[in-house]
Structure 1
Amino acid sequence: MTEVLLKVDNLKKYFPITGGLFGKTVGHVKAVDDVSFYVRKGETLGLVGESGCGKSTTGRVLMRLLEATEGKVVFEDQELTSLNSNAMRKMRKEIQMVFQDPFASLNPRHTVEKILEEPLIVHGIGDKEERKRRVREMLEVVGLSSYHAKRYPHQFSGGQRQRIGIARALMTKPKLIIADEPVSALDVSIQSQVLNLLEDLQKEFGLTYIFIAHDLGVVKHISDRVGVMYLGRLVEITESEKLYENPLHPYTKALLDSIPIPDPDVKKDRELLSGDLPSPSNPPLGCAFHTRCRDCMDICKTTRPEMKEIEPGHFAACHLY
C-alpha cells in the first residue's frame, strides 16, 4: 500500500450564529461535522456532494484558511491544526490550493509575472533571475506562453486564468494540491483541457490532489477514490469505479441517478430525492439524510450511523448495512 500523505481525523468546523441585542451566540452552522479520511501519495481523492454540503469548507480548513473547531489534520507526520501561523506559512510551500473562481483569486493590479513570482518571494526561493526563469517555465508547462507574463488577469479568458491559478499553485513544487471546483466556472470544452492538464502535471511532478467538485462526471474522470459528502458529513468513500458501479448509500444512488443520459431512447428508473436539504444550523437527529431517504427506518431517526467497511475498501455510513 502506498504511503499516506494526509490524514484527517474527526474534523469539525462550526460557524457561530449571533443574535439578540448583545450579539450572543445562539447556535452554530455545522459546515463540517466529524469528517475523517486519508489521502495516499500520488493519488487523487475526489470530494463530491450538492452545494452547501461542506466540501469547499473542508478544503479551506485543511489549508488553515479557516481554523478547525475540532479534529486533527496530519500531513507527513506533522499535525497542522496546532502549528503557529509562522510554521503554517512555511508548510504552505508543500500544500497549495487552486480556487474555484480564477478571476477573484488573482490580483487584478498585478501582472501575471508578479502573481507567479510572489510565492517564491514569500518562501525565499531563488534570486531574481531564477524566479523570472521559473515563471517563464511554469507558464509554458500549463500551456501558456512566456510573453503572457507581462499581461494582467483581465486580458485572459476564463480557461487561461485558471491555468495561471494552477501555475501559481505549482510554483513552490508542492506535494499536495487542493483543487476547489477548478473547472466549474469554465466551458465544457475548456474543462476537458484543464482536467487533462491536471492529469499530465500529476504524472510529471508526482502530485497528490484533493479534487472538490459537484459534477460527478468530472470526478469520475480524474479521481482514484471518491468521498461523498452530505450536510457536512462523509457518507461514503471508496475507489472511483466501485462507487459508480455499486453505490451503497441511498444519497450516493440518488446523486448518480441525477446524471442526465444524452440518449432520449434510454429509459432509466431514477431514485429522485424528495424534500429540501435540511439546514446545517439545525441538522436532523440520527442520520442527516433520513428526512429525504426512501429506505428510512426508525433507527435512522435517532442514531447516527458510523462509517463502516461494507466491502473491501468500500466504506459507508448507513444503517442498511
Structure 2
Amino acid sequence: MIEPLLKVNNLKKYFPIRKGVLGREHGSVKAVDDVSFYVNEGETLGIVGESGCGKSTTGRMIMRLLDPTEGSIEFEGKDLAKLSNAEMRNARREIQMVFQDPYASLNPRHSIRKILEEPLIVHGLGDAKERSRRVNELLEIVGLSSYHAKRYPHQFSGGQRQRVGIARALMTNPKLIIADEPVSALDVSIQAQVLNLMQDLQKDLKLTYIFIAHDLGVVRHISDRVGVMYLGKMVELAESEQLYNNPLHPYAKGLLSAVPVPDPDFKREQILLTGDIPSPSNPPTGCTFHTRCPFKTDICKTVVPKLVEVEKGHSVACHLYDEQFNNDI
C-alpha cells in the first residue's frame, strides 16, 4: 500500500486569551481542535467551511507559519511539527503556499523578477543566469510573458497577480501546494481561468493540492476529496461526488442546500441553519454543532462524536451515524 504524501493527526491550535496588566491567560480560542486527515500524492483535497472554522489556520500550520499546539504533520515520513526552523526552511522547498489576496502577498516595492527569484536565492538554487531563465520559464507556464518580469505588482490585474503568486509557489519544484482561497478575491470569469490553470499545472507537473475555500461550487470543480470543517473540527470527509450527492452531516447538508443550481426547474429542500456560530473561545459541549442542528438528541449535548468511516471512503462525525450509539438505543 502506498503511503499518503501528507498525514495530519490530532492537530490542534489554541490561541491564548490574555487579560489584565500582567497579561495572564484567561482561556483560549480553539481555532483548530483535533483535526486528522491525509492527502495522497497527485490528488486535490478540498477543505470547506464558514469563515472562522479553522481551515486557513490548518493550512498555515502545515506550512509551519503557525506552530501547532498539539498533533503531528507527517510529510514524506517526517514530522514537520518537530523540525527546527532551519530544517523547516529546507522542507519548504517541497511545500509551498498560494495566498488569498494576490496583492497583499506580493511586495509592491519589488519587480516581478525579484519576487520570483527570491525563493531560489533563499534555497541557494542556481546562479543568476539560471534563476533568470527559470523566472522567464515559469511566467510563460502560468500564462504571462517574460517581459512582464520588469513590471511591479500594481501594474497587473487581480487575475494576473494571482498567476504571479502561483508562479512563485512553483519556483522550487514543490510536491505539495496549499492554496488558501486562491480565487475568492477574483471575478467569476477570472476564477475559472485560474482554476483551469491550476488543474493543467497539476497534470503537467504532478502536483498535490490542498485547496481551501468557502465556495462549494469551486471546490467541487477542482477537488478529488472534500473535508468539511465546523468550529475547528472536521465533521465530514468524503470523495467529492460522494459528498455532493449524499452529504451525511447536517451541517454539510445545510451548506449544500444553499448552493445555487443553474436550472430553474430544479427543486431542492432548503435546510436552514438557525442561530449563529458559537465562539471558538467557548465552544458548546458535546457536538459543537448541536446548538444549530435540527436533528439533535440528548447525547449530542454531552458526547463529542468521533470522525468514523460509515461507508467506504466516507467519514462523518455525527451521532446519527455512530453504530455504537445506534446499537445502544
- Measured against the shorter chain, the TM-score band is over 0.9
> In the alignment, residue 144 of structure 1 is paired with which amino acid?
L
Match of 2:67 in 1: 67
CA distance in 1, matches of 2:175, 2:269: 43
Secondary structure of the corresponding residue to residue 179 of structure 1: strand
Using structure 2 for the length normalisation, give the TM-score.
0.96
Q: What's the counterpart of residue 227 of structure 1?
A: 227
CA contact (8 A) 1:226 1:237 kept: yes
Q: Percent identity?
A: 73
Report if aligned partners of 1:2, 1:41 keep a CA contact under 8 Å in 2: no
Deviation at 1:144, TM superposition (A): 0.3
Superposed, 1:161-172 pairs within 5 Å as 161-172=161-172
Look up the match of 2:206.
206
Kindly provide the amino acid, as one letter, of the partner of residue 306 in structure 1: K
- Using the alignment, how far apart are the partners of 1:58 and 1:78 within structure 2? 18
Provide the secondary structure at the position in 1 that maps to 2:64: coil
- Runs of 4+ aligned structure 1 residues displaced above 2 Å come to 261-268
Number of residue pairs matched by the alignment: 321
Residue identity in the other structure for 1:90: N
Matched, 1:92 2:92: yes
Q: Which residue of 2 aligns with 1:13?
A: 13
Task: Summarize the alignment of residues 87-166 of structure 1 with structure 2, pairs less than 5 Å apart.
Answer: 87-166=87-166
Distance 1:230 1:193 in 2: 29
Task: Specify the alignment match of 1:253 in structure 2.
Answer: 253
For 1:285-300, list aligned pairs within 5 A. 285-300=285-300
TM-score, normalized by length of structure 1? 0.99
Match of 2:327 in 1: none
One-letter code aligned to 2:27: G
TM-superposed deviation, 1:263? 4.1
Shift, 1:21, TM fit: 2.7
Deviation, structure 1 residue 2 = 4.7
SS in 1 for 2:214: coil
Deviations 1:263-299 (A, max 9, x none): 4444321011100000000000000100000110000
Secondary structure (helix, strand or coil) at the match of 1:253 reads helix
Which residue of structure 2 lines up, in the alignment, with residue 83 of structure 1?
Answer: 83
Tell me what 2:236 maps to: 236
Superposition pairs of residues 175-214 of structure 1, within 5 angstroms: 175-214=175-214
| Matched-pair contact (CA < 8 Å) for 1:41–1:208 | yes
**Which string of whole-angstrom CA distances, capped at 9 and with x for unpartnered residues, describes residues 75-124 of structure 1?**
00011001000000000000000000010000000000000000000001
Aligned AA for 2:181?
E
- 1:35-58 CA-to-partner distances (Å, cap 9, x unmatched) read 000000000000000110000000
Q: Which structure 2 residue ranges, 5 or more long, are not aligned?
A: 322-329
Once residues 248 and 2 of structure 1 are traced to their aligned partners in structure 2, the CA distance between those partners, rounded to angstroms, is 28
Rounded Cα–Cα distance in structure 2 between residues aligned with 1:39 and 1:263: 34
CA distance in 2, matches of 1:266, 1:142: 37
Q: Report the Cα distance in structure 1 between the residues aligned to 2:77 and 2:56, rounded to whole angstroms.
A: 24
Q: Distance in 2 between matches of 1:161 and 1:300?
A: 46
SS at match of 1:165: helix
Give 1:262 deviation, angstroms.
3.5
Matched, 1:40 2:40: yes
Q: Is the counterpart of residue 311 in structure 1 residue 295 in structure 2? A: no
Alignment RMSD (CA, Å): 0.8
AA at the equivalent of 1:257? S
Q: Give the whole-Å Cα distance in 2 for the aligned partners of 1:42 and 1:222.
A: 12
SS of 1:100's equivalent in the other structure is: coil
Cα distance per residue 1:216-237 (max 9 Å; x no partner): 0000000000000000000000
Q: How many angstroms apart in 2 are the aligned matches of 1:139 and 1:263?
A: 38
1:251 and 1:276 mapped to 2: Cα distance? 13
Give, in whole Å, the separation in 2 of the partners of 1:254 and 1:174: 36
